[in-house]
Structure 1
Amino acid sequence: MRILVATDAWHPQVNGVVRTLTSLSRSAATLGAEIEFLTPDGFPSVGVPTYPGLRMALPNRREIARRIEEAAPEAIHIATEGPIGWAVRGYCKRNKLAFTTSYTTRFPEYVSVRTGIPDSVGYAVLRHFHAAGSMTMVATDSLRTELAERGFRKLGFWTRGVDTRLFNPDQPAKLDLPRPIFMTMGRVAVEKNLDAFLSLELPGSKVVVGDGPQKAALEQKYSDAIFLGEKKGQDLTSHLAAADVFVFPSLTDTFGVVQLEALACGTPVAAFPVTGPKDVIADHPIGAIDNDLHKACLRALTMSREACRNFALERSWENSARQFIGNLATLQPSRAPRPARRVAGQTAVSN
């Protein structure tokens, strides 16, 4: 099966969406599916308001059509609701092509935090966006229930996985810091609710791995915390493996792939009881979820690192890719029109 995935989030961005799509492509190939991405690459872009360093593509209709027709996919999936996503959605509707979508980011809450626009407005826009698709894939049961209550329809399930070869407990970084080490990792931005973690009175050390627009302000506000900046690859894995507890304070993530990455490194998770942690941690002895994040952090210290690793080993990206492909296979196949070709002064369409 040839699949085209349209996404506004792409390298060099470092986030859960990019990691998920990259891992999906790699695992889908082993299952006989070929995934091509329609990304912001090659389009002009502008900076995202209130988010320094992040840029948004400005696609044009003709180039979107050319890329889709050149790919000639058997299935089209729209991963994000940004300009790329809207442009591909428009192309599919004009050409009566079926497509699927996924709900991966709580944009209504993100926008509300940054601008004050009520999240009800954002959800109305997203309901309209996703309603045109054949299926909207979500990563957790609790998110599916929540979106159904908000009026979303045609909801399907697509869970996430973890690369347990890359993320492992074998080579922890040597951190010369007081123990226990409570660590968080990801985008350092207001929607990640890092204040809830950094304001806690915890024993040992609080460590932040990552970069983002709030980093400078948080460093100044919390002088007792250690900010290590962005880490990648084996360096990232080593730092996750060196932590005693991974703290996930976000209230707005739809899943939080980084939870599985920490668990694969043998590090238990402490989080609030919200969508994502409720589904990943639940009542498994691999972490603690509590409305009191301080209590969750201390309780997570008692969890078995071996249990964390074993839990992650059962959640592969191959299983995630198989589920994604299965969702597409259940829908009526549709193929984008082939590019037009010139024949003796007239236009013919290749079949």
Structure 2
Amino acid sequence: MHTITPNDFRTIPCPTYPEIPLALMPGSKVAHMIEAARPCVIHIATEGPLGLAARRYCVKRDIPFTTAFHTKFPEYIQARTRLPLSVGYKAVRWFHGPSRCVMVATQGIEDELKHWGVTNVARWGRGVDTDLFKPSADARTLFGGDDRPVFLYVGRVAVEKNIGAFLDLDLPGRKVVVGGGPQMDELKRKYPGVTFTGPKFGEDLARHYAAADVFVFPSLTDTFGLVVLEALACGTPVAAYPVAGPRDVIGDAPVGVLHDDLRAAALAALDIPRDRCRAFGLANNWDKSVDQFLDNLAPFDTDTHFPSLSQEREPAPQGKAAAE
């Protein structure tokens, strides 16, 4: 497998979201990298500059590809600019229209995309590294024994994540926010009693999940919410709104509480046994996700021809044969 990421390019920060790097004019280099890799199939992960460059390359040369819908960019853009959702989803239809299939994580997101006219949809669920994300008795001491219970949020600290809905809750114990983003300074000023740790990674991140009593997921716009699975794999029950994403991940499983009253959900989740959450996480590891992804690629003709950038296409034959 060969990946093309912003690390391969000069980048600029994304406007209003500087933590996200955007590749500068990647078209020619993306084309050269694809041809050097000579892949059997091409999967486009995002709708950013690299995704646009790869899409343009494939469409121009009639090379099949798949895409994925990970992020509700129309909703995110609307939250920042008030641009109507219909305009954002028109762009989504344009970008994903030529794709052999648009991979989505849940039934709820599939239904939403079909509502907006994106019909070439296939399922690709998410998985969690259950060797990394696991319960830890030692981690329970991370926040100390006092000021319990601990209610935790992990993710981007940005307006579309609806974090204020969590931080406004009247809950016992303490609230902890793990992550970074453009709303960090604003929320720190507004909620001085909340612990903001900044971004955490690897084993350190897993310890923060395992140290919490409840993981609170206030987002209304996520297409899945991998952090929900990571928390459950660490044995931490979940409280969230009953919306696409958490509803599709958890469903009726007794490992979380989904309720329009997020405070009630967070308090009720305290009573969920942690071993039940761990078992749910184990059932959603990466093996299942990988199998689904490969199944979505299986129908492809893998004998793809990649012409050189300097190679001109042969002119189409003329006359009767061309018409036929």
Does TM, scored on the shorter chain, surpass 0.5? yes
SS at match of 2:86: helix
1:13-24 equivalent positions in 2, closer than 5 A = none
Match of 1:149 in 2: 115
Match of 1:165 in 2: 131
Q: What amino acid is aligned across from residue 83 of structure 1 in structure 2?
A: P
List 4+ stretches of structure 1 deviating above 4 A: 338-342
- The answer to whether the Cα contact below 8 Å between 1:285 and 1:304 also exists between their aligned partners in 2 is no
Cα distance change of structure 1 residues 270 and 43 upon mapping to structure 2, 3 Å threshold: same
- The answer to whether the Cα contact below 8 Å between 1:161 and 1:319 also exists between their aligned partners in 2 is yes
Q: Determine the C-alpha separation between the residues in 1 that align with 2:303 and 2:209.
A: 42
Q: Determine the C-alpha separation between the residues in 2 that align with 1:81 and 1:225.
A: 34
Deviation (angstroms), 1:334: 5.1
Match of 1:262 in 2: 231
Match of 1:29 in 2: none
Within the candidate set 298, 301, 304, 1:335 is matched to: 304
Deviation (angstroms), 1:340: 7.2
Aligned length: 308
Q: What amino acid is aligned across from residue 225 of structure 2 in structure 1?
A: G
Deviation (angstroms), 1:62: 2.1
Deviation (angstroms), 1:200: 0.3
SS at match of 2:171: coil
Match of 1:179 in 2: 148
Deviation (angstroms), 1:53: 3.7
Matched, 1:58 2:24: yes
Q: Determine the C-alpha separation between the residues in 2 that align with 1:210 and 1:121.
A: 30
1:268-287 equivalent positions in 2, closer than 5 A = 268-287=237-256
Q: Determine the C-alpha separation between the residues in 2 that align with 1:236 and 1:131.
A: 37
Q: Determine the C-alpha separation between the residues in 1 that align with 2:60 and 2:309.
A: 17
Within the candidate set 309, 313, 324, 2:278 is matched to: 309
* RMSD of Structure 2 on Structure 1 (CA): 1.5
Which string of whole-angstrom CA distances, capped at 9 and with x for unpartnered residues, describes residues 14-33 of structure 1?
xxxxxxxxxxxxxxxxxxxx
Matched, 1:118 2:84: yes
Matched, 1:323 2:319: no
SS at match of 2:7: coil
Which string of whole-angstrom CA distances, capped at 9 and with x for unpartnered residues, describes residues 102-123 of structure 1?
1000000111111121121110
Bigger Cα Rg = 2
Q: Determine the C-alpha separation between the residues in 2 that align with 1:55 and 1:84.
A: 11
Q: Which deviates the most, 57-66 or 198-207?
A: 57-66
Match of 1:109 in 2: 75
SS at match of 2:78: helix
Cα distance change of structure 1 residues 63 and 70 upon mapping to structure 2, 3 Å threshold: same
Q: Determine the C-alpha separation between the residues in 1 that align with 2:60 and 2:264.
A: 53
Deviation (angstroms), 1:289: 0.5
Q: Determine the C-alpha separation between the residues in 1 that align with 2:26 and 2:173.
A: 52
Within the candidate set 98, 109, 112, 2:64 is matched to: 98
Matched, 1:228 2:197: yes
Deviation (angstroms), 1:252: 1.0
Which structure 1 residue ranges, 5 or more long, are not aligned? Answer: 1-34, 343-351
Q: Determine the C-alpha separation between the residues in 2 that align with 1:147 and 1:220.
A: 37
Q: Determine the C-alpha separation between the residues in 1 that align with 2:284 and 2:8.
A: 35
Which structure 2 residue ranges, 5 or more long, are not aligned? Answer: 312-324
User: TM (normalized to structure 1)?
Assistant: 0.85
Identity of aligned residues (%): 50
Q: Determine the C-alpha separation between the residues in 1 that align with 2:270 and 2:304.
A: 52
Deviation (angstroms), 1:336: 4.6
Q: Determine the C-alpha separation between the residues in 2 that align with 1:287 and 1:154.
A: 32
Deviation (angstroms), 1:316: 1.3
Q: Determine the C-alpha separation between the residues in 1 that align with 2:50 and 2:188.
A: 34
- The answer to whether the Cα contact below 8 Å between 1:73 and 1:336 also exists between their aligned partners in 2 is no
